[in-house]
Structure formats: structure tokens, C-alpha cells
Homo-oligomer: A and B are copies of this chain.
């Protein structure tokens, strides 16, 4: 999630617990998971349930956001006694399995929902409810429920979860979970991964078996960029602090919008040229010699300072014309600027910037495939289009951005899957290939 750091590879087992073979009990770090439960998720025939209105029971208010894209697992019948939660800086993402009761289809489904991290109490209450239900349904003892937890909040809220829930809470490494989740989505779930552009919206990518190496760009409050060379072989190569938190934070100050979706709606109605300085504003035309069109954004919010100064000068001169009074029409204004224009400008700037850095990192590390995940994206078409365009633009069409329908749940799904025996799943997405290799050498 965070910005500058010294990238530390996990290829050196001494520095990275995830690289330690799990059967080597002597060197197992204190936070390694307990021996996996003897369940096996059957992903045969898995599919995404499209746009179904959820009629879930339990907590439902503005602090809880249900996704309407469950993953049906028609052939899974075993008891699942764990839930997984990925607690980030702003959102806590929850994944759990439910049986398809009252249905002739059988099997079950993975459910996806999130809470604001500041309402972690609601998230814990929700897990408490799941625990009670599970007890009733499965007859298992409450102690058997296990919470697989990842993200920073897995550490920050560890004690709180233990105290309230009285269950096992297993802490899992954030980056590792992201990668496991992404690998799962890429290899196991049809119609999950897609490319996006205005001309060709949502083109699903074929499932691939040779997925490595690739770059994962996870955009939450902050942005992490992770180079993935193989299953559980990864390195956080960079990131930027200009992420979702920046967008939400600045816009909540400038526009008064109170939810992420409200901010995205504003962006859809805005014209960034209302606040951005374009090449045409500086040159009066394009700067064709180096290929800059007059509509290219020269400076994000670059018009604001000038226009404010101008308005002040006119106000001092006793002219009221430029101070923005009644210029907004139906639009809410911040001074002489439309809040929609500011939202669009900031969305462009942050997406563009992430796109450029992602491209440059992919060049530095020789990675052709770039996957974008994280709760900032929210399936928002403008955001995806900007990220996509940036990758295409900077790579001169050589590279492409890939998106996921469950983009916000990579970490949560990864944590969910870690509670698994090895070698499940139809395309071996969860094999520890490195371990296999080591063993075959001996």
C-alpha cells in the first residue's frame, strides 16, 4: 500500500517467512498458519453470479457494502469453517462461504462485502453472526471457526477480534495474500479478468496457465506494485502514496461528497478543463514539435491559482464579473470552480500517474502483463479507461492493463485460500512449484 521503501525480495528465505517451506517446523515463524483444515474448495464449474440483487440477512446499512457478484461453487459440498478478512487503511474486505440452502442447485457460493475500517466493530459483529449461524447449520463447536486475517488491520485489530469473537485469528502477509488471490482469479474463475477501453468495454481475457511473470498494481488508500515471478515468488518493487486515499481525502475537503460513489458520480459529470491547465492554455495551440496536443493536460489543477488570482484582482478593482457568483448554474461550486470538474481532474491525475509509474516499473522489471486491483477501481469505467489508456500510451501499444471483477478482494480471497491443503483447484493455481522443484532435485 505505501510509498517509498527499500524493496526487500522474498527470494531470500531468511528475510521472508513466506519463502520457508511449510514442513520445516523448526524454522516456522510464530505467525505462520496452523496446519490447514482438511477441507478442499471444489472450484469445478465455478461462475460469477451476475448482478443478482442480494437479499442477505444481517447487518445492512450505509457502512456495509455488499458486492453483487458472488462466485457460485456448484460442486462444493464440504463444510467450510473459516472466513477471511483483509483490513486495509480505509476498507475491511470480507469473504465467506455459504451453502446454497433452499436451492435445487446444490453447492454453495463465495460472498463478498466490505466495511469501512473505522467501523471494524460492524465487521466483527458480522463475523459473530456468521459464527452463530455456522454453529446452527454445521453443529460445529464455536472454537472451530477461524478468521483468516490480512492487511494492516490484521495486526492492528488482532486483539480486538480475538476478544470479541473467541476464535482463532490467523494473520497472513498482505502481499502474499494479494498474489494468491490474484493467481486464483486469473486461473480459476471464468469471466473474471478483462481489458477495458472506451471503444471495447470489458473484453474478457482467456484463462492462462503461463501467467508469470507479471506486475500487480494494487490501488487501495495507497498503491503497491508487486512483481510476481511465480507462485509465492514476489517482490514489492514500488508504489505511490498518491492513491485512493488521496482522491477521497482531497475531494471530501473540496466537494463535501461523503461517499466514494458520490465522488465518482461527480467525476462523470465534470470537465477537467475547468481546473486543469491544458497545453492549449499555455501555447494558445498544441506544441506539435514534441507531439503535445492542445488538449493534453499540462498541469492538474493548474488553472486554479491563476483564476483565483484573477478573480481577486477583479474583486479588488470593484468588478464582480470573475468571482464566480452565479456562474455555476445548477452546479455546486467551490469558489469559481465546479466540484464536478475538480473530481474529474483528480480522478484523471491519480489514475494517469499510477498508470505511468506502473508502466515504468513494468519496463524496469521486464513485465509484459499488468494487473490492476484494489478498492479504488470499483469497476468504474472512467478510472479503468484512464489506467488502460496510460498503459497503452506509454508503452506505445505494446502493453495492456488487465482488470478484475473482484478487484477489491484479492487479499481477502488470498487469505481465504490460505486455509487450504495444497494442490487443490483444477489448474493447480495453488501449487507450490518452487517447493516441488526443490524436492525433485533431492
Q: Tell me which residues across on chain B come within 8 A of A6, comparing CB atoms.
A: 291, 393, 396
A353-401 interface (Cβ within 8 A of B): 353, 356-357, 360-361, 363-364, 390, 393-394, 396
Contact flags (1/0) for A37-72 with B, using CB distance below 8 Å? Answer: 000000000000000000000000000000000000
- Given known A118-B310, A289-B17, A308-B252, contact A221–B299 (CB-CB < 8 A): yes
A170-207 interface (Cβ within 8 A of B): 173-175
Q: Tell me which residues across on chain B come within 8 A of A254, comparing CB atoms.
A: 253-254
Shortest beta-carbon distance from A356 to chain B in Å: 7
Q: Tell me which residues across on chain B come within 8 A of A310, comparing CB atoms.
A: 118
Q: Tell me which residues across on chain B come within 8 A of A114, comparing CB atoms.
A: none
* A248 contacts partner chain B, Cβ-Cβ < 8 Å: yes
* A282 contacts partner chain B, Cβ-Cβ < 8 Å: yes
Task: Verify A299–B246 contact, CB threshold 8 A.
Answer: yes
Residue of B258, B298, B360, B361 near A1 (CB, 8 A) is: B298
Task: Verify A155–B284 contact, CB threshold 8 A.
Answer: yes
Distance in angstroms between the alpha carbons of A423 and B320 in the assembled complex: 55
Distance in angstroms between the alpha carbons of A353 and B254 in the assembled complex: 22
* A146 contacts partner chain B, Cβ-Cβ < 8 Å: no
Q: Tell me which residues across on chain B come within 8 A of A16, comparing CB atoms.
A: 289
Task: Verify A241–B279 contact, CB threshold 8 A.
Answer: no
Task: Verify B279–A2 contact, CB threshold 8 A.
Answer: yes
Task: Verify A299–B253 contact, CB threshold 8 A.
Answer: no
Residue of B246, B290, B298, B334 near A89 (CB, 8 A) is: B298
Q: Tell me which residues across on chain B come within 8 A of A334, comparing CB atoms.
A: 253
Copies of this chain per assembly: 2
Task: Verify B155–A118 contact, CB threshold 8 A.
Answer: no
Task: Verify B349–A241 contact, CB threshold 8 A.
Answer: yes
* A116 contacts partner chain B, Cβ-Cβ < 8 Å: yes
Task: Verify A7–B298 contact, CB threshold 8 A.
Answer: no
* A435 contacts partner chain B, Cβ-Cβ < 8 Å: no
- Give the interface centre of A17, A118, A152 by most chain B CB atoms within 10 Å: A152
* A411 contacts partner chain B, Cβ-Cβ < 8 Å: no
Task: Verify B153–A302 contact, CB threshold 8 A.
Answer: no
- Given known A4-B393, A173-B289, contact A282–B153 (CB-CB < 8 A): yes
Distance in angstroms between the alpha carbons of A310 and B116 in the assembled complex: 11
Shortest beta-carbon distance from A163 to chain B in Å: 15
Shortest beta-carbon distance from A1 to chain B in Å: 5
- Give the interface centre of A240, A241, A253, A352 by most chain B CB atoms within 10 Å: A241
Residue of B244, B258, B337, B353 near A242 (CB, 8 A) is: B353
Contact flags (1/0) for A285-309 with B, using CB distance below 8 Å? Answer: 1010111110011111111111011
A-side interface residues, number (CB < 8 Å): 92
Shortest beta-carbon distance from A102 to chain B in Å: 37
- Given known A284-B155, A363-B364, contact A117–B222 (CB-CB < 8 A): no
- Given known A277-B89, A277-B221, A364-B363, contact A250–B301 (CB-CB < 8 A): yes
Distance in angstroms between the alpha carbons of A289 and B32 in the assembled complex: 13
Task: Verify A174–B287 contact, CB threshold 8 A.
Answer: yes
Q: Tell me which residues across on chain B come within 8 A of A308, comparing CB atoms.
A: 252-253
Shortest beta-carbon distance from A220 to chain B in Å: 8
* A164 contacts partner chain B, Cβ-Cβ < 8 Å: no
* A231 contacts partner chain B, Cβ-Cβ < 8 Å: no
Q: Tell me which residues across on chain B come within 8 A of A279, comparing CB atoms.
A: 1-2, 152
Task: Verify A309–B116 contact, CB threshold 8 A.
Answer: yes
6 A-B pairs whose Cβ atoms sit less than 8 Å apart in the complex? A1-B299, A2-B298, A90-B306, A116-B309, A243-B300, A353-B353
Known: A175-B290, A258-B312. 12 other contacts (CB 8 A): A7-B291, A88-B282, A90-B302, A90-B306, A152-B279, A153-B282, A220-B299, A241-B298, A246-B301, A252-B308, A254-B254, A364-B364
Q: Which residues of A contact B (CB under 8 A)?
A: 1-8, 10, 15-17, 88-90, 116-118, 151-153, 155-156, 173-175, 220-222, 236, 238, 240-246, 248-250, 252-254, 258, 275-279, 281-285, 287, 289-293, 296-306, 308-310, 312, 334-335, 337, 349, 352-353, 356-357, 360-361, 363-364, 390, 393-394, 396
